[in-house]
Structures are given as C-alpha cells and as structure tokens.
Structure 1
Amino acid sequence: MLRNLFKRQLPGVIEWKNHDPAVLFSRLVTPTDEIKNASKLIVAPGQGCVLVYEGKIIDVLSEPGIHDLKTANTPFITSLASLLRRFESEHKLYLYFWRQTEQVNQQWGTSSPVKYTEPNHQLPMELGAYGTYAFRIEDARLFFENIVGSRDSFTQADLQSIINSRIAPEIAALLAQAGYAYTQIDAQLAALSAQLKAAINQIYNALGLRLTDMRIAGTTFSEDTLARIRQLAQMKVEAASASEVGLDYVGLERLRALRDAAKNESGLAAAGLQLGAGLDLGKTLLQPQQTAVDTQQQEPQAKLRMLKSLLEEGILTQEEFDSKKRIILDNL
C-alpha cells in the first residue's frame, strides 16, 4: 500500500493505449485525477487530447509528440497539504483523448419514414433510405463542449444515432423542394446525396463535426405507398388500352360497369336496359365522351375497334357483332 502511495507521488508518462477503434472520445481514468506536475503526455499520430484543469478547458493538443504537463500537484507536498481531505487534491486534471483520423464506411438508415407528397400525381408517399457516410472531428473543443460534455466516452454508435435523427427530415425537405416524381428518385440519388451532405454539414459544422462523404445507397417504399403505385400503374395501363379503341379511361370504366350489370339480370332490369340494345346502348352510355372522340369514331376502323371492345366486354353477342360489322363493311 505504501509502495502504491509512493508511486502516485511521482511524475508519470501518460498515453492513450489499446483504445477501442469504435471510441471517438475517451477520458483517461486515473485513481484520483491528480496528475503530478512535470508529468509527460504522449499524443500519438491520429490522436488529440483535450485538457480540462480545475473545471476549465486549458488546452487542446492536436499535434503528435511529447507534451509537458504543468499542474499545482507537487509530488508529496500536495498530498501532505491535502491531508484533511483524505489526501485528495482539488487540482484535478482530466485528459480526454479523441480520434483525429477520418472515420469511413459508416452505415446510416432513416429511423422513421420520410413522408412527402409526390408532385406529379399528388400521392402521399412514405419511403425509407439507407447508405454510408464518412466524417472527422474538425474542432475538438466545439465537439467536446456541445456533444461529448461530461461523458467518459463517446462512440461511433452514439454519433450514428445523432446523424440518423436528422437525415429523415432533411431528405423530406429536399424531395419537397426538388419536386421529383417517385419514378425519378433512384436516378437522382447522387444529386440527393450531395444536397443531403451539404444540409447535414450546415448543422454540424458549428458543433465541430464535418461529414467528408454522404451517400444514399437506396430507398424503399412502404407497403401503403407500393399499393398506391401499383394502383396508379394499373390505371395507366387501362387508360392506354382504352385509347386503342377510341375511349378514354372514364368510358372504359362505364363499359366495365355495363358488363358487370349484364351479368346480373336484376341489375339490368332495374336500370331499364336490354342486352339486345347492342352498339346503340354503348353509344348512349358513352355520350358524355362523344364530343371528344367524335371525329375519330367517324372512321370505319374506329367503329370496328369499338365493336371489338363491346364484344370482348360481353356487351355484344357474337351474332350482334357480326351483324354490325357487316353493316360497317358494306358502307365502305
């Protein structure tokens, strides 16, 4: 015991050894934090050290080498003077080592869905995003004062949670500003990555941190969003099919409703319709769209396409189709 007490009175050599690669900031733990005057501090390449003496930051060492430490803790004399305080000096020196090297290939992912309104179709969209980033501690004093504080250690995982908390709202703001359609997002990942990096740096540069790289590797839509996209895609396919027979999407929907009613005799009776109405019935139901497509339907080809559609939808029987087709061909 006396040997250990005697050993603590002598100036020592202090360095950050065998540190965890995932640790960014770490306080050197000593028995009493009474670093003796004239002790030597070794700062290795890629390291730095923040000196907190008597509750204040007195120096930030960023150059590798051997540094002399000056404190009021004179060997033996300080310990004797602090006898009434159980040999504990009030002149405490805390040493916080930090990693200066660039930290690369860090993973990030949105912790909550990114919500925005797709501009082309005004669809509410939800997506997740993920990627990588690299960073370095640019100003150790600012980083220590604003982020590390009184913590004994600060890790890459701690920083990752801070970064992730800001990514989702920043991406949402960028998408709203850029006005990308949902089909354009993947093609714009490089541009979004650069904009995201600039937005995050604008926030964290003032805290002593700088992102040296930020990449969006990919995005994923929520199930609700995918369902909306599939529905929209189906509507586009049906609209294209309708235009092939001289109809718009509304006209196709009316034909579909008529087909469903044709399968239900009570539905037809309630509507006062008869299956034998054939083409005249289709024309009546499509009357609101007639003005837009009137010119096209004057052509024999358009009329034949219309007949074909009515046959496929079950509105016309094969016999009715053949009869109307002969009339059109006879008039050529």
Structure 2
Amino acid sequence: MGLFDEIKKKLSHEFIDIVEWLDDSNDTIVHRFERYQNEIKNGAKLIVREGQTAVFINEGQLADVFTPGTYTLNTKNLPILATLKGWKYGFNSPFKAEVYFVNTRLFTDEKWGTKNPITLSDERFGLVEIRAFGTYSFRISDAGKFIVDVVGTDSNFTSYEVNEHLKSLIATRFTDTVGEANIPIELYAANTSELSETCQEVMQPEFGRVGIELERFYIENVSMPEELKKEIFEYSRIDKLDLDKLTKFKTAKAIEAAAKNEGGTAGAGMGMGMGFVLAQQMGGMMNPNMGGQAAPQSPQAAVPPPIPAQVQYFYASNGQQSGPVPFDTLRSLFAARTINRDTLVWKQGMESWTALKDVEELKSFLGGNTPPPLPSN
C-alpha cells in the first residue's frame, strides 16, 4: 500500500467531534453544517449558541431539535434519530445525519409593498385604486417546520429568499383585509395604525403554518392617484361647509371672473350679461323676500315686466331636508356627487318627494338626452 493510500485511509477515520456554527453574516437564516461524508463522531460535542436552533435531518426526515446549549451526541440526546436508525443498544460508530443551524434572532425592518394597484369599491367614489408599502419584523418560531416546509435542502438560506415568499403572502392578505374592512377611502391615511394591527392578526396564522412568527407589521403609506386625492379633498370641504353659503361664495367668484374677462368686445359683453344674471340670482338668494324681482323704477321710466322667478328645489341629504337652491346650483351639486340620480327632490307644485331621475327637467343631469324625431311632412 502506497503512502497516498495510507494518508487517505487515515483521513477517512477522522470524523467531526465538534458541531457548531459561527454566523459571520447578517442575513443568513439557515446554514447546513458541512463535514466529510456527513459522518459525525460518537460522543461529539454539539454547541448551539444563543439565537440559534440546531435541527437534525435523517434521510429527509425531521429528527431531533436542539435549543441553545452544549450537548454530547449519543442515544440519550438523540432519541428520535436513534429510533429512526434502529440503535437498540446504543451506538459506537460514527453516524450520518444532516445538521441545520437556524438563526432565531429577530429580523427587523424588512420591506413589503404592493406590486400592482389594489382595486377597491367605495360607496362615494366608486372603484378606486390604491398602493401601499411598509415594513415588518419576523423570527423563526418553529425551526423544524420551517426547514421541512420552506428551506428543503438549501444549504445556505438567506433572509432575501424568505422575504420573496413572505412579500407575496403579505400582499395577498393585505388586499383581502382592506377589502373586508369597508373603511371609507378618505380615512385610510388616518387609520394606518389600526389597519396595521388588523393585518398582523390576519397574517399571523399564515406565517405560523410555516414556522414563522410575525412580530410587527407596519403600513407606512397608502397612496392613490392625484385626481382621486383632489376629489376627496373637495368632497371633504363640501361636507364641512354650509351648502347655502358655499353657493353664494361661488356665485360671487363667478361674478368676479366675468368682470375680469378680457376676451374682446363680444366676450366682455357676454361676461357683463352673465354677471347681471348671476347678480340677480345672488340677490334673490340673499334676500328671499324680493322674489327675484328688480328694484322699482322711477315713475317716468318704462317699467319692464317682472323677471320670472327661478324655480327653487329642495333635496334630501343624509336624511335631512336641504335647500332651496336654483336649478343651476342643483346641477352643480349633482356634478360634485353631493347628490345623485336617486336623491329625493321637491319643488312647489309637486305632490310628493320624487327621485331626481324621475323629474323631467332634471333628466338632463344624467346625460344621453336626445331630441324627439322631426315631424313628418
């Protein structure tokens, strides 16, 4: 037998007598202990440090699990592995088994976000799209389950790999949770803390099924299209303001804009005409007793017929009567979604409150009106 064969034979009997893992990274979750031919010496020392768990796998089957401490590997400390291998009277020869060290420390500040917009149904604004992102923290709570269900035979499993799995789970459960929460869209930004706690409660069982504990879950921001933001702000302002005062304010602004119109003689004349009409409307609203009639003329001046009084409409809002408002104001309220096609309205002469869509002169709000056919010759 040559010298090379002697050295090879000697090395083949040098088995591992200390099993340990010193983590020199910040992102490794699972590390498989490597050794020659997977053989471990009888009576070897197993060192499991704080923040670690050691898991023994025999031929793909979960065996013994060790928490922090120092152990002498024998049939007493390896009861499951001893049963799997059939050691009835102890073992004296080296044995083969895969040893995985699992990092059980808390992994913090992990990022999550929705890859695509989430479509929600809001009773005020219809279908809307939102995006969300934030952070979460987790730790491995059941090392054996985690290795069997997630890691498999990966020899060096990192936080990046588990995050790819968890982010998909988070996005799905987040979508389900916000969809079932039925929170008005304008309140999302003000309720991120409560929504975060609810999402954590919903997601925790899903994490637990693969041996992971979701320690913290934070929603940092819920974003939406700029057009929707502006619409929400406008709605919020209208909801807080007195509608009658708002109508007077907008009428005054329209008069001011008409006065500044510099689009030529024709434009100026049109602007003046609109200004006079709006001024009459404003005067009628500010002084209902005038009934929309012009001030009396001097006896010498020709007296024109009185301007027909505008029809005033009452409408129902949040179970209360509002108004009266003129036709144009009612149309503006419809355009701003303060009222809709099913809102009950009433004017003088109507027998009862009627849905807006069923009042003939208000059907023009709904769009799609067509003239009647021309008479035949």
Which bracket does the TM-score occupy, shorter chain normalised? 0.5 to 0.7
- Alignment match, 2:100: 96
Distance 1:5 1:134, change over 3 A: farther
- Alignment match, 1:321: none
For the residues of structure 1 that align with 2:207 and 2:112, how far apart are their CA atoms?
A: 16
Q: How does 1:163-312 map to 2 (within 5 A)?
A: 163-216=166-219, 218-222=220-224, 225-234=225-234, 243-244=244-245, 246=247, 275=273, 278-279=276-277, 287=310, 289-290=312-313
Q: Normalization by structure 1: what TM-score?
A: 0.65
The Cα offsets for residues 298-319 of structure 1, whole Å up to 9 and x where unpaired, read as: xxxxxxxxxxxxxxxxxxxxxx
Deviation at 1:263, TM superposition (A): 6.1
For the residues of structure 1 that align with 2:58 and 2:244, how far apart are their CA atoms?
A: 80
Deviation at 1:6, TM superposition (A): 1.8
For the residues of structure 2 that align with 1:46 and 1:277, how far apart are their CA atoms?
A: 78
Q: Which amino acid aligns with 1:33?
A: N
Q: How does 1:56-205 map to 2 (within 5 A)?
A: 56-68=61-73, 92-131=96-135, 133-205=136-208
- Alignment match, 2:38: 33
Which residue of 55, 58, 69 corresponds with 1:53? 58
* Residue pair 2:186, 2:232 contacting (<8 A) in 1 also: no
Deviation at 1:286, TM superposition (A): 9.6
Deviates more, 1:33-42 or 1:8-17: 33-42
Q: Which amino acid aligns with 1:177?
A: E
For the residues of structure 2 that align with 1:286 and 1:164, how far apart are their CA atoms?
A: 64
Distance 1:246 1:214, change over 3 A: closer
Deviation at 1:124, TM superposition (A): 0.7
Distance 1:238 1:134, change over 3 A: closer
DSSP-derived class of the 2:37 partner: coil
1:44 and 2:49 aligned: yes
* Residue pair 2:56, 2:62 contacting (<8 A) in 1 also: yes
Q: Normalization by structure 2: what TM-score?
A: 0.58
Deviation at 1:176, TM superposition (A): 2.5
For the residues of structure 1 that align with 2:162 and 2:275, how far apart are their CA atoms?
A: 73
Distance 1:54 1:236, change over 3 A: closer
For the residues of structure 1 that align with 2:249 and 2:223, how far apart are their CA atoms?
A: 30
DSSP-derived class of the 1:45 partner: coil
Deviation at 1:262, TM superposition (A): 11
For the residues of structure 2 that align with 1:114 and 1:160, how far apart are their CA atoms?
A: 21
Q: Percent identity between the aligned chains?
A: 18
Q: Which amino acid aligns with 2:28?
A: V
Distance 1:288 1:30, change over 3 A: farther
For the residues of structure 1 that align with 2:264 and 2:173, how far apart are their CA atoms?
A: 54
For the residues of structure 2 that align with 1:253 and 1:235, how far apart are their CA atoms?
A: 19
The Cα offsets for residues 157-179 of structure 1, whole Å up to 9 and x where unpaired, read as: 22222222122232233223222
For the residues of structure 1 that align with 2:124 and 2:184, how far apart are their CA atoms?
A: 6
For the residues of structure 2 that align with 1:119 and 1:248, how far apart are their CA atoms?
A: 28
Q: Which amino acid aligns with 2:273?
A: L
Q: Which amino acid aligns with 1:149?
A: G
Deviation at 1:140, TM superposition (A): 1.4
DSSP-derived class of the 2:186 partner: coil
> Which structure's relative contact order is higher, taking Cα pairs within 8 Å and 6+ residues apart?
1
Structure 2 unmatched runs, 5+: 76-81, 86-90, 282-291, 293-306, 316-321, 327-377
Structure 1 unmatched runs, 5+: 79-90, 298-332
- Alignment match, 2:19: 14
Aligned length: 276
For the residues of structure 1 that align with 2:308 and 2:33, how far apart are their CA atoms?
A: 84
Larger helix share, 1 or 2: 1
For the residues of structure 2 that align with 1:23 and 1:177, how far apart are their CA atoms?
A: 36
Q: Which amino acid aligns with 2:148?
A: E
* Residue pair 2:43, 2:72 contacting (<8 A) in 1 also: no
For the residues of structure 2 that align with 1:116 and 1:200, how far apart are their CA atoms?
A: 20
The Cα offsets for residues 278-332 of structure 1, whole Å up to 9 and x where unpaired, read as: 43996899946556688689xxxxxxxxxxxxxxxxxxxxxxxxxxxxxxxxxxx
Distance 1:122 1:8, change over 3 A: same
Deviation at 1:215, TM superposition (A): 2.1
- Alignment match, 1:310: none
